[in-house]
Amino acid sequence: MVQISQKRNILFHIFDVSLNIVIIVVIVGIIRTFIVSPFQIEGSSMVDTLEHKEYIVINKFRYLFGSPNRGDIVVFIPPTDDSKYYVKRVLGLPGDKIVVRDGKVYLREEKGDTELNESYLSSSNQGKTYRFNSNGGISAGDTSEEAFDVPAGQYFLLGDNRQGSLDSRSFAYLGTHETAYIPEKNIKGSVWFVALPVTKIHAFQTPEYQL
């Protein structure tokens, strides 16, 4: 009887441990799928806001019941390659007309063009948002205008490193002009905070454009 009882206790202990492992795995899976998820930055397209090899945590829950705002830094699947994830900043919302001219970004309204105050850009990127050309590069110093009419349910995104970013400007040339825009379903979450290295831990807030 003692041996049977001991075996039952051992089996119960194994079952209890296994059940707890399954519960933990399910909870972690739910958290990573619907709430938060870690990513590592690759490349320099968001310098100086985000640096190469930094680890970030994205908030997926935020867009389950809401939509991206202008200025949000988001992780998304680009229209030109659905096997990758990119991180950029939302500049154009559905229905906007975004204009790139004279190295700056404008929102075209009935009253005229309003320059977006992008105080988060580094000094090396201020006033240097140029068009992407058909030769496969940024047209540095090009003061000509390019306008983007953002369709319903889609967004216009730019990297903070304006002279070294593949974003909505280049997607239009790498694919078709329609691929300049990112469908809302492709946006997987907003960047919540930098997690590593520990010396650079900080959270992000959506900037105010006072439009």
Q: Which residues does the annotation mark as catalytic?
A: 45, 88
The runs of H, that is alpha helices, within the chain are 2-30, 168-174
Structural contact between residues 195 and 56, judged by C-beta atoms closer than 8 angstroms: yes
86: CB partners within 8 A, 6+ apart: 45, 75, 76, 77, 78, 166, 167
Angstrom CA distances, 25 to 20, 22, 42, 60, stand at 9, 5, 28, 18
Distance between CA atoms of 48 and 24, rounded to whole angstroms? 37
Residue owning tokens 């949000």:
72
Within 10 Å of residue 141's Cβ, how many Cβ atoms? 8
What is the number of H-type helices and E-type strands within the chain? 2, 12
DSSP 83-141: T--EEEEEEE-TT-EEEEETTEEEEEETTEEEE---TTS-TTTTT----B-TTSSB-TT
C-alpha to C-alpha distance for 36 and 55, rounded to whole angstroms: 13
